Amino acid sequence: MVETISKTTSPTPVRVVDGASALDRIKQFSASIAQRAHEIFERNGRIPGRESEDWFQAEAELLHPLHVAIAETDDAVTVRAEVPGYKPEGLGVSVDSQLLTITGTREAHEQHKTGKMIYTEHCANQIFRSLELPADVDISKSTATLKDGVLEIAMPKAASAPKARSAAQTA
């Protein structure tokens, strides 16, 4: 008989910063992608005219998809993002009035020793997702928490933001 143990964890706060602070992190991602694209260009014989393909391949290798769900109520915008394996200190959340940027880095190190043979593996994964929000939000009151691999960002609407329209109002 297999016994399943349910472990409930409380949400861990993730720091939310002003959108302007995310610029350095975006530059780092861009530099990493450019470096990898150049390596691909070199490996493929320096053939001109394939810059876009090399860039897209580098992005696919370095940045992993980030699944998100956006919900809007009369008072707030909430975003839930799947970030399994990421720790709060490896995630970056930046909010501008109508733009949310989520970045993250995680690293795994593994080493196996068998007799004289040593096997070491290093893996780094990065995520980057920038989303246009459906309404202006109050940056100073925005919060982010991480629980069980799900990042939840709650952003109250700014005082001047229009209320969400219901299906009856749009018909």
Q: What is the pLDDT of residues 36-48, one digit of tens each?
A: 889 889 988 888 8
pTM of the model: 0.66
Residue type, 42: E
Q: How far is CA 58 from CA 36, 129, 147, in A?
A: 5, 16, 30
Q: For the chain, list residues with pLDDT below 50.
A: 1-8, 166-171
Q: Residue 161's pLDDT is what?
A: 59
Give the bridge partners for 118, in sequence order: 113
Which listed CATH number (1.10.3470.10, 3.40.50.300, 2.60.40.790, 1.10.1060.10) goes with 12-20+65-159? Answer: 2.60.40.790
The domain limits of the chain are: 12-20+65-159
- Round to whole Å and give the CA distance between 91 and 15: 8
